[in-house]
Structure 1
Amino acid sequence: MRNRITLVLLSLLVSLLPLRAEGLSRSREAVKLSSDVLLVAMPVATATTMLVMKDWTGFKQAALTGVTTLGATYLLKFAVHKKRPDGSNNLSFPSGHTSITFANAAFVQRRYGWAWGAPAYAVAAYVGWARTYARRHDWWDVAAGALIGAGSAYIYTRPFARDNKLVISPVSDGNSFGVYASLVF
């Protein structure tokens, strides 16, 4: 099973390599391109894993994580208007690449355990470094993106095939927000 997933991941990475980036030195261009490739490859690999494992509950949790991550990230981008280190626009804070990759890493770790999560976190950390190296973000942007992504995953994701005795989830009645907690003894 893991061999198949590894093969799928490698196929995805190889298929995305021909993408081109412009406007940076060769080194920065290559690093920026790799972060763009991983931005796409991580969610595709996560979805492929869920399909192979027939983890439909995981799909629902991943969708909630993704919507929350993207919503919070873009709400902040358009509210803060922080200029990028390379001066290209005012959408630097928080890093969208980092929020998405850390959401994926945290989802994989929470859902399937550290054996799968540790490599996913390594990839997400690389993406964060790559975004600063390519001068698209500074470390505050990357840290905020990582917090948003991982936080979203921790809110919605539960371990695969285990009984959950503790459930914590956000609730809203339209006028107010709160947290629902339930513990089964």
Structure 2
Amino acid sequence: MLALLIPKTTVAADGVERAGSAIRLLIPATGAAMALVRHDDDGLGQLAASGAIAVGVTTGLKYAIPATRPDGDDHSFPSMHTAIAFSSAEFIRARYGWNYGIPAYVAATFVGYSRVVSDRHYTRDVLAGALIGIGSSALLTTPYKNVQVQAELSTHFTGTHIVYAW
């Protein structure tokens, strides 16, 4: 009976891995689409630059730190998929607000989960990739048009916030 579950688990993990790989590309594509729809050339540049930094730092660390993946492959640390996903999610959050950022972060978290459950990375690899991605966008991304309007619903407050950055 247990042997029947093993192929299902492998198939499920393969499906999760494929979904995570696709979502890893959809998050930056969504950020780019958001910038293009708004004619936000500065935002598009910030997305590209922060993504390039995340990829560069992650690639450098992958070759500098000899870490084997759970499946025995090389270059485990840090997770490139996660760095890209979280760089893009943080760009969306920092540029356009938490209303867009929360779904982007949920999607990026799934990407990290997919890398661990498919035995491509350890949790430490995913956390490091997430920190690199978030850090690269946090350094370079400014709010869109310096104003963000955000909805909030809590037990003590319901309303909106208007944030102005200068």
In the superposition, the TM-score normalised over structure 2's length comes to: 0.82
Q: CA deviation at 1:81?
A: 2.1
Pair 1:31 & 2:16 matched: yes
Equivalence for 2:122: 138
Given the alignment, which residue of 91, 103, 114 partners 1:107?
91
Give the Cα–Cα distance (whole angstroms) in 1 for the partners of residues 122 and 18 of structure 2. Answer: 17
Give the Cα–Cα distance (whole angstroms) in 2 for the partners of residues 102 and 81 of structure 1. Answer: 23
Pair 1:53 & 2:48 matched: no
Give the Cα–Cα distance (whole angstroms) in 1 for the partners of residues 101 and 47 of structure 2. Answer: 14
Q: CA deviation at 1:69?
A: 0.3
Pair 1:161 & 2:165 matched: no
Pair 1:95 & 2:79 matched: yes
SS of the residue 1:25 aligns to? helix
Given the alignment, which residue of 111, 118, 129 partners 1:127?
111
Pair 1:78 & 2:27 matched: no
Structure with more contact order per residue of length (Cα contacts < 8 Å, sep ≥ 6): 2
In the superposition, the TM-score normalised over structure 1's length comes to: 0.74
Identify, as 1 or 2, the structure richer in helix: 2
Pair 1:150 & 2:134 matched: yes
Q: CA deviation at 1:146?
A: 0.3
List structure 1 segments (4+ residues) > 6 angstroms apart after TM superposition.
Answer: none
Give the Cα–Cα distance (whole angstroms) in 2 for the partners of residues 34 and 55 of structure 1. Answer: 29
Q: Identity of paired residues, percent?
A: 39
SS of the residue 2:133 aligns to? helix
Give the Cα–Cα distance (whole angstroms) in 1 for the partners of residues 28 and 22 of structure 2. Answer: 11
Give the Cα–Cα distance (whole angstroms) in 2 for the partners of residues 60 and 32 of structure 1. Answer: 29
Residue type of the alignment partner of 1:115: N
RMSD: 1.2
Equivalence for 2:54: 69
* Gaps in structure 2 of 5+ consecutive residues: 1-8, 147-163
Give the Cα–Cα distance (whole angstroms) in 2 for the partners of residues 26 and 150 of structure 1. Answer: 31
Q: CA deviation at 1:130?
A: 0.9
SS of the residue 1:91 aligns to? coil
SS of the residue 2:36 aligns to? helix
Residue type of the alignment partner of 2:66: H
Superimposed CA distance per residue, residues 16-49 of structure 1 (whole angstroms, 9 cap, x where no aligned partner): xxxxxxxx82111100000111111111111111
Give the Cα–Cα distance (whole angstroms) in 1 for the partners of residues 112 and 51 of structure 2. Answer: 18
SS of the residue 1:135 aligns to? coil
Give the Cα–Cα distance (whole angstroms) in 2 for the partners of residues 50 and 81 of structure 1. Answer: 37
Superimposed CA distance per residue, residues 122-155 of structure 1 (whole angstroms, 9 cap, x where no aligned partner): 0011111111000000110000000000000000
